[in-house]
Copies of this chain bind each other. A is one copy, B any other.
Amino acid sequence: MAYQIVDSNYGKNWVKLLHVTRNGPEHTIREWEVCSELTLDSKDDYMSGDNSAIIATDSQKNTIYLLAKNHGLTTPEEFGLLLCRHFLAQYSHVNRVNILIKQHPWSRIQAADGPHEHAFVTVREAERGCQVRQLRGQQATVWAELNGLQVLKTTQSSFVNFVNDEYRSLPDAQDRVFSTVVSARWRYVCSQRLVDYDACWSAVREAILELFAGPARGGIFSPSVQNTLYLTQVRVLNRLPEVG
C-alpha cells in the first residue's frame, strides 16, 4: 500500500514564475508561465529504452527557475531568447529549442491618492504571449501574440452585398452591432537586440483598437470584419518596421 501526491505534469510542462522588482518603496511585478520543448539530434537512445540523452522535464523546470533568479525578468521575448541560448549551449545534443511564455495581466491598483507602490489587481483585456524558437547554428525566431481582445461597436458597421446564392439566408445589414474577438500573432524581423518588445506589443494593441473604433466622436465605418482586419494589418506593418 502506498500514498503519494499525483504528478500534475499532464500535458505541457508549464512553469509559473513571479518576479518582484523592489526599487525602493516602488515595486514592480511580472508573472509568467513558461514552457520549454527540446528536440534532440538523435532518437536512437530512447528508441531502445536508454535514457542517457533525455533532459527530464523536472531539470528543464529547475533551469527556468535558476535563469530567472540569475538574470532577472525583463520581457517574455528576451527571456525566451535567453532560454534558447542556454539550452543550446548547455546540451550539445539539443538541436532545437522552443519556448512559449504567457504573461499574467497584473495592473497597479489606482488608489485615491495615486498609483499604488506595491499593490496590484488582475485586469484581463488582451492576453500577451510569445514564442521563441531557435535551431542550432541559426538565429532565433520571435513571435508575439495578442489574444482574446473582445470588442463591440453599436454603429458604423454594415455587411451588405456578400455572395447571394441558395445557401444565403442573412439579409443585408446597413447598420448593425459589430462584435468580435481579436487575436493577432506577428514575427519580429530585425535584430532582436534592438527591439522594444513591450512598446511593440502595446502599439499593435493600439492599432487594433484605433482601426476598430476610430475617433471618439463619429468613429470609423467598417464595411466588413475582413476589411477592418486588413486595414489593421497594413497599419501595424507601416508603423512598426520590426514586424514582418
Contact = CB atoms under 8 A, between A and B. Distances in A.
Interface of A: 1-8, 10-11, 16-22, 25, 27, 29, 31, 43, 46-56, 58-60, 62-63, 65-66, 68-69, 72-73, 90-91, 106, 109, 111-125, 149-156, 159-163, 165, 167-170, 177, 179-181, 209-210, 212-219, 223-224, 226-227, 230
Given A7-B177, A27-B154, A216-B115, A59 B18 contact: no
Contact of A177 (B20, B123, B162, B215): B20
A49 B18 contact: no
Given A122-B125, A153-B118, A213-B116, A53 B16 contact: no
Given A18-B4, A119-B152, A227-B46, A11 B161 contact: no
Contacts of A224: 46, 49, 51, 54
Copies of this chain, whole number: 4
Contact of A6 (B16, B46, B213, B218): B16
20 contacts: A1-B22, A3-B68, A5-B16, A5-B17, A6-B18, A8-B16, A10-B150, A46-B230, A52-B163, A54-B162, A58-B168, A91-B163, A111-B213, A113-B216, A113-B217, A114-B217, A116-B216, A121-B149, A122-B151, A123-B124
